Amino acid sequence: MSLFSSTAVFRRITDIDIKYLNDNNIKTLLLDVDNTLSTHHGTVLVEGLTEWLKLMQDNGISLVVVSNSKDWRIKPFAEKIGLPYVSLACKPLPNGYRKAVKMMNADKKTTAIIGDQIFTDVLGANLYGIRSLLVRPVKLEDGWSFKVRRYFEKKLLKDKF
Ligand SMILES: [Mg+2]
């Protein structure tokens, strides 16, 4: 397993079900925002997200938003979906994940992150030593830096999607 390997790959966050989490003893989820819960810098939630969040919480899964974005963006977003959050997480550095685990009083062993980027979300999880569930980005971003990252991600993922 490399630092760039996720524990599992899903198409959408809403494809992750309670059975999978129970079978794998996952009790806390650290959620990326851009392209995982919404479009990049968007405020439009992924279809079915509100119901999915409720389903998770009804089944005792703890949820916390962990994003590299600034507070002014993440705070209203987290409030909108009613979740605690860590902004400016500096993924792939483990600091934000560490903070979120502490905030939720969670156990690293029963915690996983959900995110759409290998070089931030997944790498950060592996550096911190927790599991990672990679989802397909909601909508691909414009801009060269994203294009470069997505190109290398594609190579790493090969035919996983
Ligand atoms: Mg993202």
Read off the pLDDT of residues 71-113 as tens digits, 9 standing for 90 and up: 999 999 999 999 999 999 999 999 999 999 999 999 999 999 9
Within 13 Å and on the Cβ side, how many CA atoms surround 95?
Answer: 8
Predicted confidence at residue 152, as pLDDT, reads 81
Tell me how far apart the alpha carbons of residues 109 and 26 are, in angstroms, rounded to a whole number: 8
Q: What percent of the chain has pLDDT over 70?
A: 96
The CA 22 to ligand 1 mean position distance, Å, reads 25
Question: ω into residue 76 within 30 of 0, thus cis?
Answer: no
The CA 113 to ligand 1 mean position distance, Å, reads 11
Nearest to 115 by CA among 130, 134, 101: 134
The CA 49 to ligand 1 mean position distance, Å, reads 15
The CA 66 to ligand 1 mean position distance, Å, reads 10
Predicted confidence at residue 42, as pLDDT, reads 73
DSSP strand E in 90-149: where?
111-115, 131-135
- pTM here is 0.89
Predicted confidence at residue 145, as pLDDT, reads 75
| Domains of the chain by start residue, with CATH | 8-157 (3.40.50.1000)
The CA 148 to ligand 1 mean position distance, Å, reads 15
**Residue 140 — very low, low, confident or very high, per pLDDT cuts 50/70/90?**
low
**Residue 34 — very low, low, confident or very high, per pLDDT cuts 50/70/90?**
very high
The CA 114 to ligand 1 mean position distance, Å, reads 9
Residue 78, burial from CB neighbour count under 10 angstroms (0-12, 13-18, 19+): buried
Q: Residue 6 pLDDT > 60, yes or no?
A: yes
- 72, two tokens: 């002014």
Beta-carbon contacts of 122 under 8 Å, excluding residues fewer than 6 positions away, are 4, 5, 6, 113, 115, 132, 134
